[in-house]
Amino acid sequence: MNKKTVKKGLLPYVFIFLIMIAIYYCFNVANQKVNTLTYNEFMEKVSDGSVSKLEITPRDRAKTYEIRGKLEKYKENESFFVRVPLSEGVMKKIIDASETQNFKMTTVADPESSSLLLVLINVLPIVLLVGFAFYFFSRQMAGNKNSMDFGKSKARLNSDNNKVTFKDVAGLKEEKEEVKELIDFLKSPKKFQKLGARIPKGVLLFGPPGTGKTLLAKAVAGEANVPFYFISGSDFVELFVGVGASRVRDMFQQAKRNAPCLIFIDEIDAVGRQRGTGLGGGHDEREQTLNQLLTEMDGFGANEGIIIIAATNRPDVLDPALLRPGRFDRQVTVNLPDVRGREEILAVHAKNKILADGITLHNLAKRTPGFSGADLENLLNEAALLAVRRNKEKITMSEVDEATDRVLMGPAKTSHKYSENDRKLVAYHEAGHAVIGLKLDNANDVQKVTIIPRGSAGGYNMMVPSEEKLCSTKTDLLEQITGLLGGRTAEEIIFGEITTGAHNDFEKATKIARAMVTEYGMSDLGPLQFEQQAGSVFLGRDYNKSQHFSNEVANEIDMEMRKIINDCHKSATEIIKKNKELLKLIADALLEYETLTKEQIDYLVKNGKMPDEDEDNLEAMSVTKLRELAKEKGIKNYSKMSKAELLRELDV
């Protein structure tokens, strides 16, 4: 062990020991009772033999003796003090009395005659106090080495240990092409300067969360093999005005010393919001930080060889001065991946995972529209965790399906108890959605139907588009609304009653219908846009929603929305009534199996029955078959168990 470390470890205990001694001394002094006597009173006590102990200290400078002692009648914590003249006569009387009365007498040297003792008495307490204070503050500083460097940049230099290249970034083909120019410039800047080309000073990456903006910035630095500073936008903002601006200056000074280099600012909206906005006015510290950032990017000073890459998923709140040419010259949208991009992303994350033979990444990519790269990584990780939990050597489609449900809706509530009436209601509700999806060409394809509750839903349909489109037609939107109303319609036809189960369906259907009328111009009101987001997200997303219509038009909008919903409801009613047998077939299968996959639904529609059960796949068996197996194994109360409980008892 280092000797310095040992010394630092002992110092606190030394100080604590000294403090305890001081406290003990002060405590004893406080409990002592000292009586002050006059010279005459003292001499009387000496004469009558009342003194039991004396301690005499001469004070040469004051020409006196300081005498402390005890009388016979005093208690243990009681003593007296007296000053007498410094003369031989006084001392002779005291000495004579001690010889006749035989009391204890001691003499102490004058402390003022010893310079060392004088220094210790007067200086040592101050030294100890100052030393303790210095040690305390030094410990505080050691706990936060940068506590006094609050004006220094918090940008960190990325090490080469975790070098990321374009090979690690799946999908994003167009986005990688956009930033390749930066790499070429960082590698050979003279090639661009020869023709007078100016490389973009900044690149803004924006898009939904989890699409790979940060990963793309790391890949640019890795491909260019240049220093890469990364910092979060919130690291600039502090309580004290001017600290953020100081950090921006320091960050660019560090970057200049290592140019050419990259600076990556994540979540730049934390510091780059529009100035002078919000109900309470601007934040002075944040605005000063933004002003300094604007100046450094394109001000009087030159920052050659420094390229800034920033990422945000809220470009609508950024200050316009930050987005102008000369600062963030290039803005790259990092969108959600398409089916090809999802397949490439799955290939990257599936490298260290063992997949069963029946699983293809192409099919997985088709089943996961709307998933970001982060969602796909989480999907495969959840599937791997489930396979380990189930003691399997490979990840099967069962784990992938369950993982998809977990990512979308959360874990299944297997302990939730349904009444038989509730199970039947949910089964017909979900079967209604499935029938509409099967019978309408432009409605979403049914991938999975389940009556196992997840999240706040009692059951759900996984419905994905038959093909990914850039734009949706009016027919597509109307059939989507019809599919959303299929559950409520089935309840009305079968039970003659309605429930609260269609709450989320109505929310989605109403949103689509309103957008058709007010934004897309898909109604009898004509090709007009009545509503749009004003971008004042500082006041709440819908607080300052721009509306360009009168009260009369507002009434017409409501009528058009009602017309769209009513027409779709009529269409759903006609389809459900025409396919009542199919509705009952799917609902009965759901009551028996609880979960149906696309393959099972297609077989059921074609053959009117479920496919033969695989004896090796208990999860795909019906509740009846599982109860038979539970009976054979002697499991008690098997007849009252749900499918999830039966699988758990059968060790699945």
Q: Which residue did the predictor score with more confidence, 649 or 81? A: 81
Note the pLDDT tens digit of each residue in 90-104: 777 777 777 777 777
pLDDT at 114 over 60: no
Note the pLDDT tens digit of each residue in 6-47: 455 566 666 677 777 766 666 555 566 777 888 788 787 777
Q: Percent of the chain beyond pLDDT 70?
A: 74
Is residue 178 annotated as a catalytic residue, yes or no?
A: no
Using alpha carbons, select from 491, 509, 512 the residue that is nearest to residue 501: 491
The DSSP letter of residue 160 is: G
Please work out, in degrees rounded to the nearest 5, the angle formed at the alpha carbon of residue 273 by the alpha carbons of 537 and 270.
100
Q: Which residue did the predictor score with more confidence, 125 or 215? A: 215
Q: Which long-range contacts (CB under 8 A, 24 or more apart) does 172-175 make?
A: 172/212, 172/216, 172/334, 172/337, 172/341, 173/341, 175/205, 175/216, 175/332, 175/333, 175/334
- The helix (run of H) or strand (run of E) holding residue 58 is strand 51-59
User: How many Å apart are CA 86 and CA 66, to the nearest integer?
Assistant: 9
Residue type present at position 243: V
Average pLDDT of the segment spanning 295-318: 77
Note the pLDDT tens digit of each residue in 221-276: 778 777 778 787 777 766 555 677 777 887 888 878 877 788 888 888 888 888 76
| Catalytic residue of the set 178, 402, 430, 594 | 430
Total-model pTM: 0.65
**247 and 260 Cβ atoms separated by less than 8 Å:** no
User: How many Å apart are CA 237 and CA 156, to the nearest integer?
Assistant: 16
Segments of 258-338 assigned E as strands: 261-266, 306-312, 330-333
Query: What phi and psi values does residue 352 have, to the nearest 5 degrees?
Result: -100, 20
The token pair at 546 is 């721009």
Nearest 10 degrees: CA dihedral of 117, 120, 121, 124?
180
User: How many Å apart are CA 615 and CA 524, to the nearest integer?
Assistant: 57
Residue 510's pLDDT band (boundaries 50, 70, 90)? Answer: very high
Note the pLDDT tens digit of each residue in 157-205: 665 546 778 888 888 888 888 888 777 777 777 787 777 777 778 888 8
**Which residues neighbour 344 within 8 Å (Cβ) at sequence distance 6 or greater?**
170, 171, 337
